[in-house]
Amino acid sequence: MKNNHTNGYESNELIDRLPKHLKQFIKPQNYDNYTPINQAVWRYVMRKSVRYLSKVAHQSYVDGLRKTGIGIEEIPSMYGMNRILKDIGWAAVAVDGFIPPNAFMEFQAYKVLVIASDIRQLENIEYTPAPDIIHEAAGHAPIIANPDYAEYLRRLGDIGAKAILSRHDIELYEAVRKLSILKEAEGIDEKEIEAAAKEVDRLQKMEVELSEMAQMRNLQWWSVEYGLIGEMENPKIYGAGLLSSIGESKWCMSEEVQKIPYSIQAAKQGFDITQPQPQLYVTPDFSYLMEVLEECASRLSLRRGGARGLQKLIESQMVGTIEINTGLQISGQFSRVILNEDNEVIFFQTTGPTALAYREKELIGQGIEYHQEGFSSPLGKLKNINLAIEDMGPFDLKAYNFYDGKWLSFEFESGIKVEGLNVTGIRNIQGKLMLIQLKDCTVTYEDEVLFKPEYGTFDMAIGSKIISAYAGAADHNSFPNLYEASKIYTIKPEKSSALLKLEEQYGIVRQLRESKTKDDEQLKQIFELVQKDYPQEWLLLLEMVEITEDEDLKTAMSNQLNEISSQCPHLTTLIKEGLEMLEKEVVEHS
């Protein structure tokens, strides 16, 4: 697999084929920016998690860690992961935190994992609402080594990317992104975090109709993020949110968390991203996830089309696509629809750049440069003619003047009238007309003029009904700026001299462990410094207890850890389980 540097990140064939509108979200991993504290956080979480998860996670997990190149001792590099992921047909890219929901899904559809390359702060070691490399790499990546699950993830991405959003979805995404960034940034005023949390809470509690994207997001949450699998009485973990949370992976197994059989109802079940989940869904196997996904997909506008799907696109105020029964696909921001008394679409309109396509390929000369101001067309059957235009053969078309160079004047059953000079037509692979171009054209409906000759050439879609409506563009090359990246960026604060000094001590301890150098005198000096300047620093002490051979020093540091535990109850479990983990490792190696 070839590798080349693109905008600072390593690329390969899978990443190369991503459309431009997705590549804007890819960032370099900047591996050298990980500090010794970051590495220690990764190591603690992974050692603790893998030991515990080997008993409670789906059997694919531990095997998948090995297959995807994710180790316990250090944060994985994206380049190293991609060398191994290619063998199972996937790739990984780094991104800056949360990205828009449709974009996230579309990456999955291309079999590319998006990995937030930042890592949680030590204060949030048990759980963070922000996506980070522990959640993404150690949570998502190992399970995709299972072929059934990997195909479910791809299919979920493929369908989810086309689910129609609401404005509420976008507001919630931006609010959650802001909260996650503030919570992971250092030195942020608690009042600012509280205000951001209240905004997320307000939006989550709003009583709004669940959009299609919200339903797909719920399915993703209760399967990919927080899913359990197997028997109801003794399920195993496969959801990345549980696999990457050393606190919640234990909590979820308790009787306090309700276990529910996985079904289409999961699409209706909301969640609070800031709290542990009070209930979880259990799927019998990965193939059943696909059944539920297909059931959900059958209810989406992607499969149903019609006036309802078009109305959802109008309300979303984002680029979407309709496909009509001739196969013609119109992509743009839909702004208007006229319905007849049977609630059928008889006219539609887009505003701004619009592109026409057939079978996901843009028609020559029908891109956003040509349709800069939008596109509009009537739909339906002609008045007093039983045969729809798209079903007319050559003889019928000639009888009604539907061929090049002829003046056309006709009326639809809806009452929409069209007059103009037929310049040319575009046909689908069955030879049926799907678009005709008219000059000097006037389109009217009741007392309204819908199109005037001075507007230019009128491109009229041929078709009687909308068979599909979905988010995004038919041809991904038509809209290079399909998704707008968030204006809320990850905060990179200046480090204090105290933090830099602490990072240096972590680095020394890491180097001593990796080189297997015995230097208890240096460890004593670091311990004295920690007692004096960092009285609540527990993880560094654990790392030193692990490698010192001086029993007196080990006892002193263990006593200090117990003192921190009594003073800071929120650290008690982390310290207690860290010490127990070290004791078990000593027994195992003796």
CATH number at residue 33: 1.10.800.10
pLDDT tens across the length of the chain (590 residues):
344 444 567 778 889 999 989 998 999 988 999 999 999 999 998 888 888 888 899 988 888 887 877 888 999 888 888 888 888 899 989 988 888 889 999 999 999 999 888 888 888 887 776 778 888 778 888 888 899 999 999 999 999 999 999 888 888 888 988 888 888 777 788 898 899 989 988 998 888 889 999 999 999 999 999 999 999 999 999 998 888 887 788 888 888 999 999 999 999 998 887 778 899 999 999 999 999 999 999 999 999 999 999 999 999 999 999 999 999 999 999 999 999 999 999 999 999 999 999 999 999 999 999 999 999 999 999 998 888 888 887 788 888 777 788 898 999 999 999 999 999 889 899 888 899 999 999 999 999 999 999 999 999 999 999 999 999 999 999 998 887 766 666 777 678 899 999 999 999 999 999 999 889 999 999 999 999 999 999 999 999 999 999 999 999 999 999 999 999 999 999 999 999 988 887 666 65
Cα-to-chain-centroid distance, residue 370: 32
Please tell me whether residues 113 and 183 are part of one structural domain: yes
Last residue of a domain, one of 247, 262, 294: 294
Closest alpha carbon to 91 in 72, 75, 107: 107
Number of domains in the chain: 3
Q: Are residues 263 and 186 in the same domain?
A: yes
CB 424 within 8 A of CB 436: yes
Q: Are 69 and 85 in contact (CB under 8 A)?
A: yes
Q: Are residues 114 and 146 in the same domain?
A: yes
Last residue of a domain, one of 294, 316, 334: 294
Query: Which tokens in the block code for residue 194?
Result: 């509280």
| 383 and 285 housed in the same domain | no
Integer Cα distance of 585 and 590 in angstroms: 9
CB 347 within 8 A of CB 450: yes
Q: Are 104 and 114 in contact (CB under 8 A)?
A: yes
Residue 410, H or E segment: strand 407-411
Do 286 and 317 fall into the same domain? no
- 6 in helix, strand or coil? strand
Residue 245 domain-assigned (yes or no):
yes
pTM of the model: 0.86
The token duo for 10 is: 């390593």
| CATH at residue 443 | 2.30.30.100
Residue 477 lies in a domain: no
Structural domain contains residue 191: yes
Does one domain contain both 287 and 335?
A: no
- Domain interval for residue 505: 497-589
Residue 166 structure tokens:
């609401």
Same-domain status, 36 and 144: yes
- Do 25 and 110 lie in a common domain? yes
Among 328, 332, 329, residue whose Cα is nearest residue 433: 328
